[in-house]
Amino acid sequence: MPRAPRGPTLLQAQRWAGTLTSAFAFLACAVSGEMGPAMTALFPLAVAGSAVAGRRFHGRVQWAWTALLAGALLVFGVQVLAGHIDIILAAALFAELLCIHRLWHRRTGRDELLLLLLALLLLCAGAALSAELTFGLAFLGFAVSGTWALALTHLRSAIEEGRGPAGSAALLNSRRVATPALLSGLAALSLFGIAGAALVFFTFPRVTIGGLRRASRPAPVAGLGDRVDLSRRGTIADDPRVALRVRLNPPPRGEPRDLAMHWRARSLSQWTGHGWRSPDGGLIPVMRLPRRPRGGGVPSVLSADIEVVGQFTDGVVFTPEGWPLGVDFRRPGSPRQLYRNVEGDLFYQPVDGGDVRYTVAADLDEPAPGGLRGRGQRYPSWVEADLAVPASLDARVHALAKRLGGGKDPADAAAAIERWLATALRYSRELPGDVADPIADFLFARRAGHCELFSSAMVLMLRSLGIPARNVTGYFGGRRTDAGYYAVRAGDAHSWVEVYFPDAGYVPFDPTPASARGSRQEGIGARMVLLWDSLQQTWRAFVVDYDLVSQTQAMRRIGQILHETGQRLAGRDGATGRLRRVIAAVGTAVAAAAVIAWLRRLRLRARKAQERELTSDQRRAVALWRGARRLLKRAGVEIAVGTTPGELARRVPAAADIARAYAAARWGGAQLAPRVARAALRTLDAGLQVAREHRP
C-alpha cells in the first residue's frame, strides 16, 4: 500500500511562503533599528496572531482595520511634517501596518499577490534604512522565499482559474504538489535569480542623480572618553567588538597575524586624584600638521587607512605610532574638518555618529633611545601642565622614582622606570576599587594592576623627578582578517605614556608588560565577531560602496583582461594589423556560421520531433500537404496558414483530391501509399499547368 505523502498542501505551502517573504522583508527593515521597539515587536506578534486566529477574523470588523490604518497614516503624516521622523521611515512603518493587515486578510490569490507587493515595498524601505550585512542576509532570505511565494501563488491562481473553485479544491489541498523536490527546485531557481541580480547589480550603469538621498542615521556616541577613573571596581572584560579597521601601506613585514602597534587617541594630563582628565580648552582648525622638531632627511612614511566604527568615535582622530604628517578624509567633498586641542590631540568635526574613514600619514623614524640623551631639562612653558605633581602624592612614589631614575638623564630615567614597572609588577584585570590612593595601592600594596595604573604610575614618577610626561589613551594591537584589514577591537583599549624631550617632542613609553598589552581574545565568540566584521566589510566594499568609479575600474579591468587575452592569442610577438583583421574576419564568419548552423539544427530538431510522433502515413500526408502548398505557391496561389483541407478543396478544385487524401491520412487514420501521393502531386501540377496555359 503506497504511503500517504507527508508535508504541506499546496495551499499551506503557498501561505507559509508568503508569510516568510513578508517576514524577511520586515527583517530587512527591522535590522536598521529605526522602527522602534513597539513596531518591531508588533510584526512577529501579528504574524503569530494571524496564524492562530487569522481565519476567525476574515471579513470581520473591517471598519476597525480601516480606521486603524487611516489613523496611522494621519499620525505618520503629522510626524513627518513635524520633522520627528523622515518620510522613508514613515513609509516603512505604514507598509508594515499594511502588511499586517494583509496577513490577517488572506483569502484569494489576489490577496497573496498584494502581500508580496507590500513585502517588496518593505524590502525597498529596508534598503533605504539600513546598509548593514544583516540587510544582505534578509535580502537573500527574501530572494529564496519570494521565489517560493511567487511561484506557488502563480500555481494556485492558475489552478483556480483553470479548474474553477470546485475543481481546484482537491489539487490545492493535495500534498503531492508542494513536494520537497519542487521547493528545492525553486530554491535552486532563486540562486539563479540571485546570480542574475549580482550580474545586473555590477553592470547596471551607476549614474546617479543624487536627489532625495537619505542621510545616514546618527548613532549614540561612546568610546574613549576624556577621563580615566582609576577607582573603578570589578574586572575588565574583553570586548570583541571591532572599533577600528586598519589597512597599512606599506603592509607590515611578514604580515603578522597580530599587529604590535599603538593607536593613539588622546592625551590626559590633568590628575584628578583618582585618575586623569584632559585639560579644558577649545579646538582650533588645523590646516597643516606641525613638523617633527629637527626633522631632516627622507622620512620613513607609513600610511594608515583607518576606519573608525561609529560607536567608538567621539570625534577623536586615531594616529599610528610615529609623528603624524597629515590626515586625509577619504571622501572627496567630505564636510569633515581637522582640529586640534592645546595638547596637540587631533579631532574632526562635525561628528555625526556614523563610521568615519580617513588616512593618516606618519613618520615612523622615532629617535633612538640613545639619541634622546643629553637634551637637558629646559622645557618650554607650554609643557608645565605635564610637570604638575599632585600635592597628595604619596612620598613613597617620589622615593621610588628617585631610586630608579634620580640623577640620571631624563631618557635613562624614563627607560629605567619603564623597565622596572614592566618587570617588577604584575598585570591584572582586577580593578582596585575605591581606594584612597590608587597609585600607592598599585605600587606598594597590590603590586598588580591594569595598563592605566602602569601608565599613571610612570607619569607621576617622572613628574616627581621634574620630567614632563602625560598619560595617553588609545588602542594597542590589531588582528589580521580574511578581508585584508587589521581589526582593532574594543578590548584592545590601552593606556601608555608620552615623555617630552626638548627638540624631540613627545616620545612614547609603555610600562605595561608587553605580553599584557591589548586583548588576548581567542575564543569562538571573538572569532565569530571578527568573521562577522570581515564579512560586513566585504559586503560594504563590494555592495554598499560600489559606485561609478568602482564600476569603471572593474570594466577597465575586464577590458584589460580581454585585451591581454587577445594579445596572447595573436602571438607573443603580436600579429600585423592585416593579419589581425583577417583573423577577426575569419573568426566572425565562423561564429556567424556556427550560429546559423545552430539555429537550423534547432529548427530541424523541432520539426523532426514533431514528425517523430506521427505514423508513416501521417508523415506522408504532411509531406503531401507541404508539396501541394509549394506547387500552389509556384503557381501564384497563396495559401494562408490556417487554411483547412476543405477550404483548399473549395478554393482550388484541382487540389480537391490532395485535400481529401491529406485529411483522410493525417486525421482519419487512412493509409496513403507513396505512389498515390506522388500521383496526386503530379496530377495537381498538371492541372495547374493547364490552368496557366488557358489563363486569359
Partner 1 sequence: MGRWYTGLTIGIGLAATNTGNNLLFLVLGLLLASIIVSGILSEQSLRGVRVERRLPSVATAGQQALIGLQARNGKRRAPSFSLEIRERGGDVPGHGFLVLLPAGQSAEAAYRFVPQRRGLHRFEQIEVATRAPFGLFEKSRPMDAPAELVVFPRQVPPPPSTARTLARDGERPEDRIGLGLEVHSLRDHRPGEDARSIHWRSSARAGRLIGMDREQERRKRVCVVLDQRPLRGEVLERAVEHAAALVSRELDGGAEVSLALAGAFLPAGSGEAHRHAALRLLALLEEGGDGLAAPEPDGEGSVLQVRE
- Judge contact between 69 and 101, C-beta under 8 A: yes
CB atoms within 10 A of CB 113: 17
Q: Which residues contact 427 (CB under 8 A, 6 or more apart)?
A: 448, 449, 450, 451, 454, 512, 513, 515, 516
Stretch that binds partner 1, among 135-143, 377-385, 443-451, 592-600 (CB under 8 A): 135-143
Tell me: does residue 108 bind partner 1 (CB under 8 A): no
User: Of the two residues 205 and 696, which places its CB atom closer to partner 1 in the complex?
Assistant: 205
Position among 76, 139, 358, 501 found at the interface with partner 1 (CB under 8 A): 139
Q: Could you tell me the smallest distance in angstroms from the CB atom of residue 492 to partner 1?
A: 31
How far apart, in whole angstroms, are the C-alpha atoms of residue 278 and residue 177?
Answer: 71
Binding status of residue 171 toward partner 1 by CB under 8 A? yes
DSSP 235: B
Q: Are 297 and 506 in contact (CB under 8 A)?
A: no
Minimum CB separation of residue 531 from partner 1 in Å reads 22
661 binds partner 1 (CB under 8 A): no
Closest distance of CB 663 from partner 1, Å: 8
Name the residue type at position 548.
Answer: L
Residues 6+ apart with CB under 8 A from 250: 302
Closer to partner 1 by Cβ: residue 120 or 435: 120
d(CA 116, CA 93): 16
Look at residues 212, 334, 346, 206 and name the one whose alpha carbon lies nearest to residue 267: 346
Q: Alpha helix locations (H) across 85-132? A: 87-104, 109-129
Provide φ and ψ at 147, rounded to 5°: -65, -45
- Where b means 16+ CB within 10 Å and e means fewer, 461-482 reads bbbbbebbbbbbbbbbbbbbbe
Residue closer to partner 1 by CB (options 217, 241) is 217
CB of 490 to partner 1, least distance (A): 27
> What's the closest the beta carbon of residue 620 comes to partner 1, in angstroms?
17
In terms of Cβ atoms closer than 10 Å to its own Cβ (0-12, 13-18, 19+), residue 508 is middle
169 binds partner 1 (CB under 8 A): no
Which is nearer to partner 1, 135 or 476 (by Cβ)? 135
Which backbone phi and psi does 574 adopt, to 5 degrees?
Answer: 85, 140
CB 25 within 8 A of CB 99: yes
- Whether the CA torsion 535, 538, 540, 544 is positive or negative: it is negative
How many CB atoms are closer than 10 A to CB 653?
12
Told to check if 123 binds partner 1 by CB under 8 A, we report yes
Site map 591..620 versus partner 1, x via CB under 8 A? ------------------xx-xx-------
User: Which runs of consecutive H residues, i.e. helices, occur in 54-86?
Assistant: 62-82
Stretch in the footprint of partner 1 (CB under 8 A) among 47-55, 60-68, 352-360, 537-545: 537-545
* Residues within window 407-446 making contact with partner 1, judged by CB under 8 A: none
Whether the CB-CB separation of 224 and 312 falls below 8 Å is answered with: yes
Q: Given the complex with partner 1, which of 135 and 271 has the nearer CB atom? A: 135
Stretch that binds partner 1, among 43-51, 160-168, 235-243, 422-430 (CB under 8 A): 160-168
Q: Select 463 or 540, whichever has its Cβ closest to partner 1.
A: 540
| Nearest to partner 1 of 14, 455 (CB atom) | 14
Q: Which stretch binds partner 1 (CB under 8 A): 150-158, 404-412, 482-490, 679-687?
A: 150-158
Q: Using the rule CB under 8 A, which residue among 2, 234, 642, 696 binds partner 1?
A: 642
Sole window of 53-61, 120-128, 255-263, 568-576 interacting with partner 1 (rule: CB under 8 A): 120-128
User: Measured from the CB atom, is 119 or 224 closer to partner 1?
Assistant: 119
Is 165 near partner 1 (CB under 8 A)?
no
Q: Is 641 in the site for partner 1 (CB under 8 A)?
A: yes
For the CB of residue 677, give the shortest distance to partner 1 in the complex, in Å.
18
Contact 247, 301 (CB under 8 A): no
- Within 8 A by CB and 6+ apart from 188, the residues are none
The contact mask relative to partner 1 for 538-557 (x = CB under 8 A, - = no) is: -----xxxxx----------
Provide, rounded to whole angstroms, the least separation between the CB of residue 480 and partner 1. 27
Cβ atoms < 10 Å from Cβ of 166:
7
Cell 583577417 -> residue: 582
Q: In what order do the strands lie in the sheet with 356-363?
A: 323-329, 356-363, 301-308, 242-249, 486-489, 479-480
- Least Å distance between CB 516 and partner 1? 43
Q: How far is residue 243's CA from residue 475's CA, in Å, rounded to a whole number?
A: 9
Query: Which parts of 184-223 interact with partner 1 (CB under 8 A)?
Result: 186, 189, 192-201, 204, 206-214
Number of residues lying near partner 1 (CB under 8 A): 67
**Does position 503 bind partner 1 by CB under 8 A?**
no
Q: Toward partner 1, which CB reaches closer, 63 or 204? A: 204
Q: Tell me the DSSP string of 272-320.
A: -SSEEEPPP---EE-SSPPPPTT--S---EEEEEEEE-GGG-SSBPPB-
* Closest CB 195 distance from partner 1, rounded Å: 7
Question: What's the closest the beta carbon of residue 543 comes to partner 1, in angstroms?
Answer: 6
Which of 89, 99, 115, 128 forms a contact with partner 1 (CB under 8 A)?
128
Q: How far is the CB of 44 from partner 1 (least distance, A)?
A: 23
Say if residues 646 and 659 touch (Cβ distance below 8 Å): yes
C-beta closer to partner 1: residue 382 or 667: 667
Interface of this chain with partner 1, residues 48 to 107, rule: CB under 8 A: none
- Comparison of 153 and 512: residue with beta carbon closer to partner 1: 153
**Grid coordinates standing for 246?**
586598519
Cβ-based nearer residue to partner 1, 177 or 459 = 177
Q: How far apart are CA 11 and CA 173, in angstroms?
A: 6
* Sites of contact with partner 1 (CB under 8 A): 113, 117, 120, 123-124, 126-128, 130-131, 135, 139, 143, 147, 150-151, 153-155, 157-159, 161-163, 171, 177, 186, 189, 192-201, 204, 206-214, 543-547, 609-610, 612-613, 641-647, 663, 667
